[in-house]
Structure 1
Amino acid sequence: MGKRALVIDDSRAMRRILAGILGEQGFEVIEAGDGREGLQRLREADTVDVVLVDWNMPVMNGYDFIRAVRAEPCWGRLPLMMVTTETEMDHVVEALAAGASEYLMKPFSAESVLEKLSLLGVLE
């Protein structure tokens, strides 16, 4: 079975961009429009190899999503990458402290996404 990625962003355009980058690397991509939907998709999926999550979203933001995921022992080692316009160092520190594995600032290049995925060990 191929690798599976969950992309959570309230922007459909951003989900499409990330899905395109991931799809070229052979990932099956599951999409969600906010953190609560992302948790639901994560629970429904057999396996997810990596999650890319935006910070600023309605219903449940990316920071709260990461905290919720890290509260579940079964997802303790799941790679979580925050992909956001939040550039303040305080936000980076908060996200990493909450359990984000990597932090990528928008706008980004396909190369920077692949570099972070490589650091997470999810590229073949």
Structure 2
Amino acid sequence: MFQQITKGIKISVKTTFNGKVYRGYQEYYTFSYYISIENNSKNTVQLLERYWTIFDALNNIEYAEGEGVVGETPILKPNEEYNYRSNCFLLSNTGAMMGHYKMINFETSEEFLVTIPTFQLTTTPTLN
């Protein structure tokens, strides 16, 4: 599991390989990633936007951004947790993702970025 804490917001990520699929004539390796967002701060926050950089072993880089996650902009009170699952398609059997969420603190109206730790997408477990 990959974890990162920014301003009291803890991001945890787990990944799984789902197999290969074809889209048209192109073969893709499919992965799921499971993200837990824990509000360990003393303030209520809301996730507004997401920003991703996605790499694969063939040196392809893709950027993805948008409002919320999986169609939601969750509000987390102190000590609350939000979990979701999403998917990624790569042309190679290994890659990585990294990014950040834009959030807002309801008490101060401050917008801030929360780092999503870089995590590996691989078809087989890799040992360091």
Do they fold alike, i.e. is TM over 0.5?
no
Q: Which structure's relative contact order is higher, taking Cα pairs within 8 Å and 6+ residues apart? A: 2
Structure with more helix by fraction? 1
**Larger Rg over CA atoms:** 2
Structure with more strand by fraction? 2
Q: TM-score range by the shorter chain?
A: under 0.3
